[in-house]
Structure 1
Amino acid sequence: MKRRYFGSHPDDPVIFHRKELVNRKLPFAALADPTIEQSFNQELLGLLENLEYMAITAVIDKLEHQRR
């Protein structure tokens, strides 16, 4: 997917960052095309629905972190 939609290369892989994806910033500018965006979203949602995976998240209290 990364190579097909964003030209990702194994030596310099594209990392999916939500903020850049949503704002269609490089390297995700291709998503500004509605046809490409729809295709990408369908493929990504298909993977999320069908692959077995574990999601790990972390949360930081930024105010407390700044205070320290």
Structure 2
Amino acid sequence: MAIYHLHVKVIGRKAGSSAVASAAYRSASRLRDERIERSHDFSAKRGVVHSEVMLPEDAPEAWSDRERLWNDVEA
């Protein structure tokens, strides 16, 4: 029987973290951080089996784009 595990971590600017960089790392993708004008490229990272953006029905359609979503979070 599989055992479910969830680990939650707060991403804070005070510690020098970026939600965009964290999202790029976790999804093994390349995302551009508009706030600091820097690209975070983790597309060569291995081990990510599946990654998707799941939104509630009433969420803006623009947020289905991972880069737009996390840049809006940073804003």
TM-score, normalisation: structure 1: 0.30
Greater per-residue helix proportion: 1
Instruction: Please identify the structure whose Cα radius of gyration is greater.
Output: 1
The structure with higher relative contact order (CA 8 Å, sep 6+) is: 2
